[in-house]
Structure formats: C-alpha cells, structure tokens
Structure 1
C-alpha cells in the first residue's frame, strides 16, 4: 500500500490569487505535487457548463453530488500516494467538517489566502469569468471562524508568498489545524 499523500490546501475568496500561489508551489516545492481545483475540471470540459448555463440542466440539483464526488476524489488521489496542492473555496456549510473527516489520515497544511476587497473586485472584473459579486461575498464569509496553519496576503509579491508558504510547510511542527479538528479539538483563529 502506498504511503498517503500530503495536501497543501490553499483556501481563499474567488479571485484572491489561489491559483497563482498553487502553481508557484507546484513549480518550486521539493516533492511532486498535483495542482487540482474545480476550475481545472470546468476548464477541461468535465462539466456540461453550457447546458447548465442555458438552463437545460439544473446546476442547483447537480451541485451537491458534483462536490461530494470532487471531495471524495481528493481523498482517493491522496490515499493512492499523490501529493496535492488543492485550491478550493469552502463556501458551503459543512464542507470543512466533511473534508476534515475525509482527510483525517493525511498530512494537511491549511493555507489562508487573503486579499483586500478593492483588489478582489478589480481582479474579478478583469477576469470576466466569475459572477460579479462572488468575490465580495466570499470576502465577507469564507474565512469566518476558520483557523489556518499559515496565512498570506496576496497584495504582496506572489513569488515571495510562494516562498513563504514553502518555508512554512518545511518548518512546520506540531499538529496541523486539520489534525486537531479531526481529533475533536477546538481550534481558535490566531
């Protein structure tokens, strides 16, 4: 049986810079890591996006089974021995608890990605591939009540943030936020 993979979980608002950080980690970290996100599946055509947008298929009905499968696939990839740089937005109640349970046997390093609201709004508008307002909604909700093993501000230099995340990953001691949550410990945001 393969040694379980390690997971660097990059969490932040839409348009906060998660992809830039995840790509940088993958390019520079000393071990092989898969960079995986919902955007990759969407961009690869896994989802029938046009048919959801046209209303032919109901995204609200498909969303839960899609994300349930995505989350389970992450545990399967790591369980087979693959290291993951996961970028994800925990925007649905219960997802953190679900992933803590699914990832309980893995070494998870939870990274909070923060970005000032004006910059988030600017990035969202420049991208043009996100519903306007989703970045602001994420900004106001997704970090609430969450603790991280490490945090970065993406209005700083991207390469410097990547270097800081890798250095923190390599220097970590003690149990991660995910491990403590899996053991039922209360984790207070620091």
Structure 2
C-alpha cells in the first residue's frame, strides 16, 4: 500500500509548520509531519559542528537532500502518509521529487506570505539566516503549478479546511500530477 503525500511549499518563515501541525490534527488518516527542521532540531544533523566550522554545510548539502528525498519516498512506499514541508530552492529538486513520488498521490500546496511579515517572522525566530526569507519570497513560487495556493493572511483553520477539501476532492492539477 502506497502512502499519500501533501507537500506544503513556501518561503522560510511562511507558516508551513503551523499549517502542517493543524492539518495533521484535523485530517482523518494518520499522516507523518516531516521537514528538514525536524532533522535539524532533533539533532540528526551536526549543526553545532557546522556552526563552529568543523564541517562545511555547502559540501554536504547535496548528499543530505538526496538522502532526505529518497527517505521520503521510502516512507511512502512503506505505506506512510506524509505532510511534508519543503522549500524548493534548488532547481534540481522538483524533477528529482517528481520522479521519486511518481507512484504516489501527491497534493501540492503553495503557501504565500507577505514580504514584510516574512522579514518580521525571520527576525523573531532567531534561528534563520537573515535575508533567506526574502530570497525565498522572490524565487520559490516562480513557475510552480500547485493544486492549491493559500495565504497566511487567512486563518490557519481556514487554510486547513481548504487543504482538506482540495485533498479529499481527488482533483490533482499540479506539476506532480502532470508527469
């Protein structure tokens, strides 16, 4: 039995995690909520050693993301449903994930956030490189084709309801549906 995948895509600090937690609590099937932040915050990555210069993140980033993406497909192949947060800031990732996710029902959601709100959230979080949210703002949604686009100016409850209605409809029109 293959799992189902809901991808929440948007800039850093746009509200993907908040939306994912609320969605996970509302959806009628068991879904894992998975993101890079979980790996970083859970101690999987040697973040402290990246920060002190023992290891160079740039040298390890490609292998990390290839492994992360392959693990997502493996989870879904085993029958696990995923709510996945991601920022497609590398042009190679989308084709890679489209290939890996070909056997699965993928619902692709774009989460938009105003630039000023992103900047404020980024500063308030304190765990992001200042400027990354603005860089994402100008690039991550370019040429993307989603099943649904939501804005963080709507309430989380409203956005979750919209995601659930779209996901339940079975209608898929995103670039994951058009292989």
TM-score range normalised by the length of the shorter chain: over 0.9
Question: Which residue does the alignment assign to 1:119?
Answer: 117
Relative to the length of structure 2, the TM-score reads 0.97
Can you give the 5+ residue segments of structure 2 that lack an aligned partner in the other structure? Answer: none
Of 96, 116, 126, 1:98 maps to 96
Q: Figure out how many residues of one structure are paired with residues of the other and give that number.
A: 179
2:126 aligned with 1:142: no
Give the Cα–Cα distance (whole angstroms) in 2 for the partners of residues 140 and 176 of structure 1: 20
- 1:171 CA drift (Å): 1.7
- Residue range with higher mean Cα deviation, 157-166 or 139-148: 157-166
Task: Could you list the structure 1 runs, at least 4 aligned residues long, displaced by more than 2 angstroms after superposition.
Answer: 172-177
Superposition RMSD on alpha carbons, in Å?
0.9
* Aligned ranges 1:36-51 → 2 under 5 Å: 36-51=34-49
Partner of 1:141, secondary structure, is coil
Distance 1:40 1:6, change over 3 A: same
Cα deviation digits, residues 130-172 of structure 1 (max 9, x gap): 0000000000001111110001000111111111111111123
Secondary structure of the residue that 1:86 maps to in structure 2? Answer: strand
